[in-house]
Structure 1
Amino acid sequence: MSRTDGAAGSGRVPHPRTPVNVTSPRTVRKAVFASALGNATEWYDFGVYSYLAATIGALFYPEASAGGQLIATFTTFAAAFLIRPIGGLFFGPLGDRIGRKRVLATTMLMMSLGTAAIGVLPVYESVGIAAPVLLLLSRMVQGFSTGGEYGGATTFIGEYAPDRRRGFLGSWLEFGTVCGYVSGASVVTVLTFALTDDQLADWGWRIPFLLALPLGLVGLYIRMRLEDTPAFTTSEDTFAEGRRPGPLHQLKETFSGHLPAVALCVGLVLVFNVNNYTLTAYMPTYLTEELGFRSTHGLVITLAAMLAMLLLVTQMGRLSDRVGRRPVLMSGCVLTIVAAFPAFWLLQQGVAGAVAGALLLALVLVHFSGVVPSSLPALFPTKVRYGALAISFNISVSLFGGTTPLMAEALVQSTGSLYAPAFLLVVAGLIGAVAVWRLPESAGRPLPGARPSAVDRSEADRIAAGTP
């Protein structure tokens, strides 16, 4: 008997004869929107921080050289990622114990507050060394909360989505990512055009960070109005009330027998995030500080690449529902290896070439953005999905994602080669290809430990009868 039988107004349609979860399309859309909005809030901050990297460096690290300011700014950026595994370790298992919804509401609120806090920080000129320390602490709050956000959001969408549409619906999470990044980048770009350099450095840089608070409150309201996922509420094997072990025992159970899946998750996230942060976090700085583009040109070029991704990311998710996750992901790994050096050659060929190079990097990235959100939840069973995914994801992101801008800039400065970031992409592509080669195909199949999920009762009947 499905636990979806009760809960009037839940949006879940009970199916009395078969153990198949059927969720109303309206509820699925609300779940997708709530998850995507949280990711948008997270990436709004990344867009703002990346586009204001030079300004933040000058305000919080004025005693360093121009190159040193960038290194310090990206070090602060990367430091927040180092605490993300701790956030994943805290929020992930908690989501497997008390449910996905309440944890995701908490991470949304913390993330918004951490971003808004940067907008009210004093700068180095006012309080000296305390300024970069406070900036680091604010980034730590963001990193801790974000540690529970992406793993929870992919779990939330994955557990709500019908099996045959999980790729398409999961890709909307990254649509939210791109929208958040584009929104943050657009706000900074508009301020850069509208304000003088002195106005931007004096007070204008604070505005984008402060805008994160109302965005987060809207997302919090929407998330609190949703019920928990059908897969979680109908599973008979969870860390639910009355069956909760101690934290250490739960952590041991989370990873017991799942280390191969953890390794695959780390490899997939590595290639995804090295591509991701090369384009989103490092590209504006690379174009302006290394290639000499005007700051507005660097901002607009990167923004154009992100807008192009909006047109393709959900189509990649839809494609993976038709042909499978592995073919799309493998083509992304191959393109990462093949296109890395041509893309960085194009970036050095003037404005038109830079636009083409950025678009090429965006085309590579969209293979992962459209498919990874539906691939990761399928690696782990319902009982441990949130915890195992959050911890594995954030270990990989902290080591290989958030450090990408720092490593790329350090390589450029140490080697003097403008092609140095391409080496990072090639290595990531090779590692990703190995992970995809070992990845089991999950398209159109139920999540491990969960009942099949259907679009409607008719499909549920067919699934129960074993007919196509």
Structure 2
Amino acid sequence: MSQPSPPDAVSQVPAAPTSTGFSRRSVVAAGTGNALEFYDFAIFASLTPVISQLFFPSGDPLAAILSTLALFAVGFVMRPVGAVVFGRLADRHGRRIPLAVSILIMGVTTVLIGVMPTYDRAGILAPLLLCVARLLQGLSIGGEFGTSASFLVEHAPRHRRGLYGSFAFFSSTAGSVLGALVVLVLTVGMPPAVLNDWGWRVPFLLGFPLLAVGLYLRYRIAESPEFEAVRAGNARATSPVSTLFREHRRAFLTLLGVCIGFSVASSTVQAFVLTYIRTVVGLPAVPALTTVVLATSVGVALVLLFGQLSDRYGRRAVLVFAAVLTVLLPYPSLLVMGLGGFGPALVGQLILWVPVAAFGGAIPSLFAELFPARVRASGFGIGYGFGSAIFAGTAPFVATLLIELTGDTVSPAWYMTAAGAVTLAVVLASASVRRSSVS
């Protein structure tokens, strides 16, 4: 049994500053790093058919894609490590330093992928270098989302934590839209031979402007007011990770349970669906990418809507809605996509985006509220890092493997349904979720 959490110092200070401009600057600065994170996420997923042939040449196209998706999962392996390193730094010394360092690592490694030699020039060294880059990105991402979402929630007025927190996933999704849009423009504007030769490098190199802007903004932000209250009251945990697992095990396990459905659903719709509609459904590259851009753009708007709804009706109500739809919608969604053509591909993705956006709107504030400020970045980051590594990183690989093993093109739906059912049970049973819903 976990011990009761000690009173949090933040309850004795205002929840957020009153300056609208200050709050806006904080939101933009925190969101830039998330956008860069998922910009790379989206371009890597969108370019999977190209990268698979350039770095993992094989006579079997499916084997090459599986190798690339396995490398995609490798990027998630280091997330828990990054969460431990950056979470401890954030809880001991403040949110600003890890936010700056994480965006620097992400940006540099994204650009480095853009200049890496391919297999025909470097042999086995090429996929090894790509693997190292993905590991470094996983390290930085592990410290990014939990710290930035905590930072946003700690700047929010108490009655708007859901909306402020939803900007963490909103900015991530916006990065996905930008990445997919860049790949779409290049696919339309370049002959396939040029795209396969050097054009695929352009989206990675374009990560540099995001890096520069993000570093500048994060250098100028002020520290989180809740962390300042903890520091002023000398309430910082000497060992945040030890304190987390000694005093907040139940909240940590609750977070992991919520992550299961969210991670599988979000990774499937953001990283697997494009490959699915191109290789399984047979939609050409340009219309396939167009459907992804349109569906993800709708998802961006829905994230903020569900963040606001979580402030009005509570985190638990929105999470129950999201989990129920994750159970019910994957099968009909893939059936619709399987009809073939632009319209069904778009409609099928829009169906899946509803539960993903609902999760994305509610979980940043929920996960932050599960832990007191003195261990918040560690609790949020480590729990989310493990959940992402285990379930999000492997979801595209598992989905592809299920199709190969069963011969059933809608078999990935059952994996999402099972994950949603687990999360629904956790949300309904968890007293921590009920308490976090009370503002």
TM-score by length of 1: 0.88
CA–CA separation in structure 1 for the residues paired with 2:371 and 2:184:
41
Residues 54 and 82 (structure 1 numbering): CA distance in 2 closer, same or farther, change over 3 Å?
A: same
Q: Does 1:395 align with 2:390?
A: no
Structure 2 counterpart of 1:116: 111
Preserved CA contact (<8 Å) 2:155 2:225: yes
Q: Which has the larger radius of gyration?
A: 1
2:352 equivalent among 357, 361, 366: 361
| 1:166–1:444 Cα contact (<8 Å) kept | no
DSSP 3-state at the match of 1:291: coil
Deviation by residue 1:432-456 (Cα, 9 ceiling, x = unmatched): 11221112242463xxxxxxxxxxx
8 Å CA contact 1:306–1:362 kept in 2: the answer is yes
Partner amino acid, structure 2, of 1:394: G
Listed as ranges, the gaps of 5+ residues in structure 2 are: 1-11
Query: Which of the numbers 255, 263, 268 marks the counterpart of 1:273?
Result: 263
2:265 maps to 1:291: no
Residue 371 of structure 2, aligned match among 380, 386, 389: 380
Partner-residue secondary structure (3-state), 2:221: coil
Asked if 1:202 corresponds to 2:197, the answer is yes
Task: Give secondary structure in 2 for the equivalent of 1:32.
Answer: helix
1:187-226 maps to which residues of 2 (within 5 A)?
187-226=182-221
More off after superposition, 65-74 vs 431-440: 431-440
Amino acid of the residue matched to residue 407 of structure 1? V
Distance 1:417 1:237 in 2: 59
For 1:199 and 1:60, locate their aligned partners in 2 and report how far apart those are by CA, in whole Å: 16
Q: CA deviation at 1:292?
A: 1.1
Equivalent residue in structure 1 for 2:29, among 26, 29, 34: 34
* 8 A contact 2:237–2:243 mirrored in 1: no
**1:21 CA drift (Å):** 4.3
SS in 1 for 2:255: helix
Alignment of 1:62 onto 2:57: yes
Of the three residues 296, 305, 314, the one matched with 1:315 is 305
CA contact (8 A) 1:309 1:366 kept: yes
Structure 2: distance between partners of 1:126 and 1:239: 56
Q: Distance in 2 between matches of 1:312 and 1:85?
A: 28
The reply to whether residue 164 of structure 1 matches residue 159 of structure 2 is yes
| Larger proportion of helix | 2
Q: How much has 1:251 moved relative to structure 2?
A: 2.5
Give how far 1:354 is off.
Answer: 1.9
Q: Does 1:304 align with 2:294?
A: yes
Q: Does 1:433 align with 2:424?
A: yes
| Letter of the 1:411 counterpart | L
| C-alpha spacing 1:319/1:203, structure 2 compared with 1 (3 Å) | same
Alpha-carbon distance change, 375 to 122 in structure 1, aligned in 2, over 3 angstroms: same
Q: Which stretch of the first structure deviates more once superposed, 124-133 or 23-32?
A: 23-32
Partner residue of 1:51? 46
Partner of 1:139: 134
Change (3 A) 1:237 1:410: farther
What is the Cα-based RMSD across aligned positions, in Å? Answer: 1.5
**What is the identity, as a one-letter code, of the residue corresponding to 1:345?**
L
* Counterpart in the other structure of 1:370: 361
Quote the Cα distance in structure 1 between the aligned partners of 2:392 and 2:111: 23
Deviation at 1:83, TM superposition (A): 1.1
Note if 1:334 corresponds to 2:328: no
Aligned to 2:250: 260
66, 69, 82: which is aligned to 1:74?
69
CA distance 1:285–1:47, change in 2 (3 Å): same
Number of residues of Structure 1 aligned to a counterpart in Structure 2 = 423
CA drift at 1:250: 4.1
In 2, Cα distance between the equivalents of 1:250 and 1:85? 15
CA contact (8 A) 1:325 1:441 kept: no
Question: What is the percent sequence identity of the aligned residues?
Answer: 36
